[in-house]
């Protein structure tokens, strides 16, 4: 069923969409950043926990990559993004809760794969939905609002891990309920203000645009590899510096950094809309991310480590939100936006294929400091790549 075509989305839809995007972040942030590592640590023990987490991250990344491309493309064909988002929301929430019954590594791998497919049934059409309805003059605002999503994801982790609030199984139920509360409003009330307005035939991308897209793809991949390492191993790294650090303290730091990045991204996004210079903030943020990672590499005490992580987290959070919105601006084929965003989403999932094995190889030999130096080099490379796109964007 195709939805009727309408004009550019009003701000009401943009706000509802931003809340739904935050729900998407809540769907995976507390689980992958803290609930899953804590569970793995309890089941596998200190010696095997890194290996178990690597297998789970690898499997989940493959499922997420395939699912995002598939469901993005299906939403292009059906031209009914909202239905896919709603079905994915229901299935991913149910599978998240049911996955809590897994007791062995193979069971956990199967549960993660199924959950990631359902999650990307929701996320892929949701991402394309914004490209359908938000015009270029509001994409800076969109990027700024999207920056609130990681902070809300992290805050949800802080909430569900509050001591005495919920059992491990009930934490998963709470996450699923919060996601539904965030995503349902745009499904129920956003339809009158939105619908795909895609062209009938896809247009070929000029050679210059393809080169621009490739540099943007590589730059995001570089920063996302660093982000993925923090996402999965921040808890373990903090505990290596101070064994007294528990899961709730880690999520508080994670949440605070992401929450603070949102106003900065919103200001930067509005500046982009007014100045018409979308790449300048991205170059600056990539460079600051590299500086934060170098500070982390040099850290020997917990306060210095937290300060270095704060710089990295703030800069990378702004970078990723603004980059996501500007990607919608440069994609060349509106009729295949879901599919193309699925291919661009590989910058989010490929790092989860690379990062676990990179960590397994680097940390035993060079410690976390050596890993952070390597990641700083990647962030600096992203700044160089985007600096080269400024005249073309």
In the prediction, which pLDDT does 101 show?
81
Q: How far is CA 35 from the centre of its chain?
A: 17
Rounded Cα gap, residues 212 and 215, in angstroms: 5
Please state, for a pLDDT cut of 90, what percent of the chain lies above it. 32
60-110 residue pLDDT tens: 889 998 999 999 999 989 888 899 999 999 999 999 999 888 888 889 999
Choose among 25, 321, 322: nearest CA to 149. Answer: 25
Whether 238 contacts 232, CB under 8 Å: no
Three-state SS annotation for 241-310: HCCCCCHHHHHHHHHHHHHHHHHHHHHHHHHHHHHCCCHHHHHHHHHHHHHHHHHHHHCCCHHHHHHHHH
The three-point CA angle 378-382-383 to 5° equals 120
Looking at residue 285, its pLDDT comes to: 94
pLDDT range class, residue 6, cuts 50, 70, 90: very low
What is the set of domains in the chain, with CATH numbers?
Answer: 11-387 (1.20.1250.20)
Between 247 and 127, whose confidence is greater? 127
Q: What angle do CA 252, 95, 38 make, to 5 degrees?
A: 35
Q: What local confidence, expressed as pLDDT, does residue 207 receive?
A: 55
pTM over 0.75: yes
Q: Which two tokens stand for residue 188?
A: 């129920």
Q: Residue 173 has what pLDDT? A: 93
**pLDDT tier for residue 193 given thresholds of 50, 70 and 90:** very low
Phi, psi of 389 (to 5 degrees): -95, -5
pLDDT, tens digit, 9 for 90 and up, residues 225-263: 888 887 667 777 888 888 877 767 777 787 788 778 888
| C-alpha closest to that of 186 among 60, 13, 311, 358 | 13
- Please report the pLDDT score of residue 203 as a whole number: 47
DSSP line for 328-390? HHH-S-GGGHHHHHHHHTHHHHHHHHHHHHHHHHHHHHHHHHHHHHHHHHHHHHHHHHHHTTT
Say whether 312 sits in a helix, a strand or coil. Answer: helix
- The residues, ordered by sequence, that sit 6+ positions from 220 with a Cβ below 8 Å of its Cβ are 320, 323, 327, 344, 347, 382
What average pLDDT does range 289-312 have in this prediction?
A: 92
Q: What is the pLDDT of residue 2?
A: 43
Average pLDDT value for residue range 20-36? 89
Q: What is the mean pLDDT of the chain?
A: 83
pLDDT of residue 390: 56
Task: Point out the least confidently predicted range of 50-59, 104-113, 117-126.
Answer: 50-59
Per-residue pLDDT at 197? 45
* pLDDT higher at 2 or 102: 102
pLDDT of residue 50: 72
Q: How far apart are CA 295 and CA 291, in angstroms?
A: 6
pLDDT tier, 393 (very low <50, low <70, confident <90, very high otherwise): low
pLDDT tens profile 367-392:
888 989 999 999 999 999 988 775 55
């Amino acid at each position: 069923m195709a939805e009727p075509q309408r004009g550019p989305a009003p701000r009401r839809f943009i706000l509802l969409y931003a809340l739904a995007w935050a729900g998407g972040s809540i769907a995976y942030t507390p689980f992958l950043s803290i609930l899953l590592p804590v569970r793995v640590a309890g089941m596998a023990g200190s010696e095997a926990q890194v290996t178990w987490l690597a297998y789970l991250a690898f499997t989940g990344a493959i499922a997420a990559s395939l699912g995002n491309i598939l469901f993005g493309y299906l939403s292009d064909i059906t031209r009914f993004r909202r239905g896919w988002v709603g079905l994915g929301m229901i299935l991913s929430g149910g599978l998240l809760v049911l996955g809590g019954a897994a007791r062995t590594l193979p069971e956990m791998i199967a549960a993660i794969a199924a959950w990631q497919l359902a999650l990307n049934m929701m996320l892929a059409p949701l991402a394309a939905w914004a490209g359908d309805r938000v015009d270029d003059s509001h994409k800076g605002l969109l990027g700024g609002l999207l920056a609130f999503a990681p902070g809300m994801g992290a805050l949800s982790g802080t909430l569900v891990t509050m001591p005495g609030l919920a059992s491990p199984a009930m934490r998963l139920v709470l996450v699923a309920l919060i996601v539904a509360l965030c995503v349902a409003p745009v499904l129920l009330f956003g339809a009158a203000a939105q619908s795909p307005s895609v062209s009938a035939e896809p247009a070929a991308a000029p050679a210059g645009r393809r080169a621009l897209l490739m540099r943007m793809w590589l730059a995001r991949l570089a920063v996302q590899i660093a982000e993925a390492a923090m996402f999965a191993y921040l808890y373990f790294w903090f505990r290596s510096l101070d064994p007294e650090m528990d899961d709730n303290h880690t999520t508080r730091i994670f949440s605070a950094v992401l929450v603070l990045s949102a106003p900065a991204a919103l200001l930067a996004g509005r500046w982009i809309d007014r100045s018409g210079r979308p790449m300048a903030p991205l170059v600056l943020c990539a460079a600051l991310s590299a500086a934060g990672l170098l500070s982390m590499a040099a850290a020997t005490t917990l306060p210095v480590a937290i300060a270095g992580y704060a710089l990295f987290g703030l800069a990378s959070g702004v970078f990723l939100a603004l980059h996501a919105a500007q990607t919608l601006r440069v994609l060349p084929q509106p009729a295949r936006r879901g599919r193309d965003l699925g291919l661009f989403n590989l910058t989010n999932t490929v790092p989860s294929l690379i990062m676990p094995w990179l960590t397994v190889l680097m940390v035993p030999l060079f410690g976390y400091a050596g890993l952070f130096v390597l990641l700083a080099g990647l962030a600096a490379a992203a700044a160089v790549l985007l600096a080269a796109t400024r005249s073309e964007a």
